[in-house]
Copies of this chain bind each other. A is one copy, B any other.
Amino acid sequence: MKLKDLAAELGLSQTTVSRALNGFPEVNEATRERVSEAARRLGYRANVSARRLATGRSGAIGVTLPLQRSLHFGPHTSEFLSGISERMAQHDIDIVVTPIDADDEIPVFRRLVASKRVDALVLSAPTPNDERIAALTELGMPFLMHGRADNVKIPHAWLDIDNEGAFRRATSHLLDLGHTRIAMINGPEDQTFAIHRDRGFRSAMLARGLTPDPQLIGGGRFTDENGFRLAQAFLERRPRPTAFLAGSMMTALGVFRAIRLAGLELGKDVSMIAHDDVFPYLNADNMVPSMSTTRSSIRAAGARIAELLLQMQDGKPPGSIHELWPVELVLRESTGPAPK
């Protein structure tokens, strides 16, 4: 069943049928109704390839799946994709996942652009001087950055959460509770979100006249293993830290284990605040003790990114799209007053 058939069936021209279905004003309402009804009845759907060729737009947006970085992007993927795709499906826009080696991103972009495979891209995990921004801008490929690159002057769209503010507040709270030896288990050092968190942590400490102990700061992948190793090392220092900041729920699990293994009790001997991206399968509320977190739904971010991309397609200039989301601080049982 193609447009031609449908038009023949209705005794109308392809033009009219096409316009009727695509909501053009110059077609009689009665005709439009008749056309839609027939389309529904006969199960007609426009061949997307043909439409894409004719309109010059691919009707798809690309989401890069960084293979190397997948170690820390991993568990986030499904939530993020769900958020984006649910919204896009309503607009009949495809989500194409494109695996990318961190090594040769730019050539891949070049190919994507040349083949007109996607109308826009969603990038993740920016570094401070992220060179992808310049590359894509030059190639004329619209994109939205999930996160922020710090030092890039080129105007571009981004959506980020307030990592710095979140960790400043979390740190301040721990300081309020009397903790002074606070350990920080951050993410990969080259990522801006980790840098921002570090900045928030430090500024809160400095505001109280405290200097963060570099021996109590670690970074790396968001794996439980990494959390465990770092926490274990930190706990061996004397005086030992009385509180932990963890960059993700995965690392928090590892820290948790290290604390227990050291014979300490979380929420009493040691406090912890972890960042929570709100995974449905790993709930901070249901841990024992329940985990205090800085919370921001990555799924919601995905949905919003979809919305913003749609606006960009409608002509909204990328340079005007900057969203910085506040992060909730949710206090639960894993934080308590510093032991005397």
Given contacts A43-B114, A81-B77, contact A221 B53 (CB under 8 A): no
Distance, CA A339 to CA B168, complexed state (A) = 49
* A129 at the binding interface (Cβ < 8 Å): no
Chain B residues near A89 (CB-CB < 8 A): 98-99
Distance, CA A79 to CA B76, complexed state (A) = 11
A residues contacting the other copy or chain, number (CB 8 A) = 62
Distance, CA A111 to CA B39, complexed state (A) = 12
**5 intermolecular pairs with C-beta atoms under 8 Å apart:** A1-B114, A46-B115, A82-B99, A95-B97, A223-B283
Q: Are A283 and B224 in contact (CB under 8 A)?
A: yes
Q: Which A89-139 residues sit within 8 Å CB-CB of chain B?
A: 89, 94-99, 110-111, 114-117
Distance, CA A279 to CA B225, complexed state (A) = 12
Quote the shortest CB–CB distance from A167 to chain B (angstroms). Answer: 21
List the 6 shortest-distance A-B pairs measured between CB atoms, nearest first.
A77-B78, A45-B114, A49-B52, A225-B286, A49-B53, A45-B115
Q: Which candidate, A64-72, A181-189, A190-198, A207-215, is the interface stretch facing chain B? A: A64-72
Given contacts A58-B49, A224-B281, contact A65 B77 (CB under 8 A): no
Distance, CA A217 to CA B260, complexed state (A) = 29
Q: Are A282 and B250 in contact (CB under 8 A)?
A: yes
Q: Which residue of B lies closest to A78 (CB)?
A: B77
* A22 at the binding interface (Cβ < 8 Å): no
Chain B CB within 10 A, most for which of A67, A115, A253 = A115
Q: Are A43 and B221 in contact (CB under 8 A)?
A: no
Distance, CA A60 to CA B60, complexed state (A) = 12
* A9 at the binding interface (Cβ < 8 Å): no
Chain B CB within 10 A, most for which of A49, A94, A250 = A49
Q: Are A47 and B53 in contact (CB under 8 A)?
A: yes
Chain B residues near A44 (CB-CB < 8 A): 114
Chain B residues near A94 (CB-CB < 8 A): 60, 96, 98, 117
Q: Are B223 and A280 in contact (CB under 8 A)?
A: yes
Given contacts A77-B81, A99-B86, contact A47 B283 (CB under 8 A): no
Given contacts A43-B114, A281-B223, A283-B224, contact A78 B70 (CB under 8 A): yes
* A257 at the binding interface (Cβ < 8 Å): yes
* A317 at the binding interface (Cβ < 8 Å): no
* A288 at the binding interface (Cβ < 8 Å): yes
Distance, CA A115 to CA B89, complexed state (A) = 14
* A261 at the binding interface (Cβ < 8 Å): yes
Distance, CA A220 to CA B5, complexed state (A) = 49
Given contacts A70-B82, A96-B96, A281-B71, contact A116 B224 (CB under 8 A): no
Quote the shortest CB–CB distance from A121 to chain B (angstroms). Answer: 13
Chain B residues near A116 (CB-CB < 8 A): 47-49
Q: Which residue of B lies closest to A232 (CB)?
A: B288
Contact of A97 among B81, B253, B257, B286 (CB under 8 A): B81
Distance, CA A110 to CA B76, complexed state (A) = 30
Quote the shortest CB–CB distance from A291 to chain B (angstroms). Answer: 11
